[in-house]
Structure 1
């Protein structure tokens, strides 16, 4: 929100998902050589329940920063995608070194776990948090966005895009047809393509800086950006 505002836009924070830690006891890590996290929500859920000297392999720089802030001492970031995280594991770790603990949520992480298993790794997929829809009621949503033109909408995950479209009132959907949809990944862009936008653009890299680059010239304070 602060970064969008600093570019001269009026930012509207619109939560599409709610994350809730569900871990209530320490996770056994005997025989585990590293912990894999594909979301900062997993870091929050793990804090206090696993030793902070365990190696942590994070999906990207933002998740890595969150892990370090939580006290983890040995954190290595990948390039921002699950595929990049799998490549990092294959390049720097060996199946004989022990299991990999993938901290995730119900319905998430299966493709990553299977890809690594095909490479010979033993992957322990553990659900440490859960995701619920978090869109506000329609009347509150209309009030948050207001009546002015929306220039752009930023979507930082495919699931965010999916839940946003699923719970979007028809009248608000119609008002967003003139907005630019900025997607963090191809998958998010595919989901957004089920609705009419002025255009859909994908970030060059799956990170916040690349998303902000697509906002274009600063100084558009009279327009809104939904994030």
Structure 2
């Protein structure tokens, strides 16, 4: 069913995702009849990537954010290689970045590692362009698969402390029915910002979390109102909207 058909009335949802993705999420929520309020609680920052004389048989990425942070000079050296992307959105971003051979990895780190294992011979050298903040499961699975993977951190995530004016503006409308939490960094900043005084505009909000790890960073009483996505991406988060 098309998103525009999910009309739910003018209900406020707090979007804590970094820009520019937060604005895209807001537009999507508007199309569903929600009233999004964008308050990024984290941002991604680029890190220097230098490949030197290293050579690789393939590239892998687990976030579309990667292509916003790696220079075109680096990407130009890699576009002739097959690129393994964790899911549909990341594969789309890879194609837009100029990669001709893009293989979708099934939507999560475990399936991605298995896809690479089946596609490449043992001993193949894989370049993993990654975010500095990540879970170890993908790298662990690649070791088990017998593939040599070189990791280059291409971006990091920093927390953002909202200004007093931004916090005051949140109380200008109706209470929030939900807050979207996309990362551990954002969840920690969310708790730091709001838990101490439990504002009325979050009193009955559901906390839509991209993973169990993110939900686990909330205080116990908030965890009771947390919902965890069935898949660690925005599609999984949006499926939770039917429960708010």
Per the TM alignment, residue 19 of structure 1 is displaced from its structure 2 partner at its CA by 0.9
- The answer to whether the aligner puts 1:210 opposite 2:241 as a matched pair is no
Matching residue of 1:10? 35
CA contact (8 A) 2:179 2:208 kept: yes
Matching residue of 2:155? 129
For 2:207, which of 176, 181, 202 is the aligned residue? 181
Larger RCO (alpha carbons 8 Å, 6+ apart): 1
What do you get for the CA RMSD once the two structures are aligned? 2.7
Per the TM alignment, residue 99 of structure 1 is displaced from its structure 2 partner at its CA by 1.0
For residue 194 of structure 2, give the secondary structure of its aligned residue in structure 1.
coil
Per the TM alignment, residue 53 of structure 1 is displaced from its structure 2 partner at its CA by 2.4
Matching residue of 2:67? 43
Matching residue of 1:221? none
CA contact (8 A) 1:15 1:134 kept: yes
Q: Find the aligned partners of 1:109 and 1:35 in 2 and give their Cα distance.
A: 18
| Structure 1 residues 76 and 162: CA distance shift in structure 2, 3 A | farther
TM-score, normalized by length of structure 1?
A: 0.81
For 2:226, which of 182, 200, 205 is the aligned residue? 200
Per the TM alignment, residue 174 of structure 1 is displaced from its structure 2 partner at its CA by 5.8
Per the TM alignment, residue 126 of structure 1 is displaced from its structure 2 partner at its CA by 0.7
For 2:174, which of 129, 140, 148 is the aligned residue? 148
| Structure 1 residues 169 and 163: CA distance shift in structure 2, 3 A | same
| Structure 1 residues 36 and 173: CA distance shift in structure 2, 3 A | farther
Matching residue of 1:73? 100
Aligned length: 216
| Structure 1 residues 206 and 137: CA distance shift in structure 2, 3 A | same
Matching residue of 1:222? none
For 1:61, which of 88, 91, 98 is the aligned residue? 88
Per the TM alignment, residue 180 of structure 1 is displaced from its structure 2 partner at its CA by 0.9
Q: Find the aligned partners of 2:223 and 2:201 in 1 and give their Cα distance.
A: 10
CA contact (8 A) 1:59 1:77 kept: yes
| Structure 1 residues 61 and 173: CA distance shift in structure 2, 3 A | farther
CA contact (8 A) 1:43 1:67 kept: yes
| Structure 1 residues 76 and 165: CA distance shift in structure 2, 3 A | farther
Per the TM alignment, residue 94 of structure 1 is displaced from its structure 2 partner at its CA by 2.7
Structure 2: gaps of 5 or more residues: 1-25
TM-score, normalized by length of structure 2?
A: 0.76
Q: Find the aligned partners of 1:165 and 1:33 in 2 and give their Cα distance.
A: 43
For residue 10 of structure 1, give the secondary structure of its aligned residue in structure 2.
strand
Structure 1: gaps of 5 or more residues: 218-224
